[in-house]
Amino acid sequence: MWGYLSLLPICLAFGAIAGIWTVFSLAVVNKAVNLTEGFPYISVCGNAPPQSCIFSQVLNFGAASAAWICILRYYQLRDWGVRKWPNQVILWTGLLCALGTSIVGNFQEKNQRSTHLTGAFLAFFVGILYFWLQLFLSWRMKNLPQPGAPWIGPLRLVLCSACFVLEVAMVVLHSWSMRSVSAICEWAVAMLLFVLFGLLAVDFSRLDGCALCLQPGSGSLRPPPDSPTSLHVQL
């Protein structure tokens, strides 16, 4: 029986994919891009309003959802016995991916190109590193739980490999001025990353819920009488 937390990765995957293609459709309808001149990059579709507004909102939603997913995944791996420092490395790569996604959405390529490209690097290249690190962790820790069907692991390996190859192809083709083919690679990379996030729903299927625990620090004032020293909130 899957818990409600499994819906978070699924909503991210379907919501982001639908949102990005909505931006593309609006850009075509509003003639912000001309398909006869070549296939556009995702960022080009989100340069001009009104689609730029939807583009920012979609990526902000994706960034916030991805950050929550990475935090939940961190605590899940911790409870599975993963050591603190490798788990923190995985967490920070995921959070940097989420930050880059937000930067891409809020700093349009035509207005802040360098900032936009920095965000794209974090979203694409650090994002795929997040999933590679988890694959490496599952390979090193044979006793790590593997929820879902046996083919989930190989599927993730295939998706990560395809995503990395497409990222390299995207950069090389762009440097060769083959912009249309490079843009197609970019779209494929974005879809694969959304699918990889969506597959975390399989891992979250074992979670019934989560709880927030607040504890006073060592230097904090002593709580008043009859006051709890910690607060547990079921989410």
Predicted pLDDT of residue 231: 39
Inter-residue long-range contacts of 3-8, CB under 8 Å, 24+ positions, other chains counted: 3/204, 3/205, 3/206, 3/207, 3/208, 3/209, 4/209, 5/72, 5/204, 5/207, 5/209, 5/210, 6/201, 6/202, 6/204, 6/205, 6/207, 7/201, 8/65, 8/68, 8/69, 8/72, 8/201, 8/204
pLDDT at position 175, please? 92
Assess contact for 207 and 200: CB atoms under 8 A. no
Enter the pTM of the model. 0.88
| pLDDT tens, per residue, the chain with 235 residues | 566 788 999 999 999 999 999 999 999 999 899 898 899 999 999 998 899 999 999 999 999 999 999 999 999 999 888 899 999 999 999 999 999 999 999 998 888 899 999 999 999 999 999 999 999 998 888 788 888 788 999 999 999 999 999 999 999 999 999 999 999 999 999 999 999 999 999 988 877 766 766 667 666 555 555 544 443 445 5
Specify the pLDDT at position 233.
Answer: 43
Q: What is the pLDDT of residue 132?
A: 97
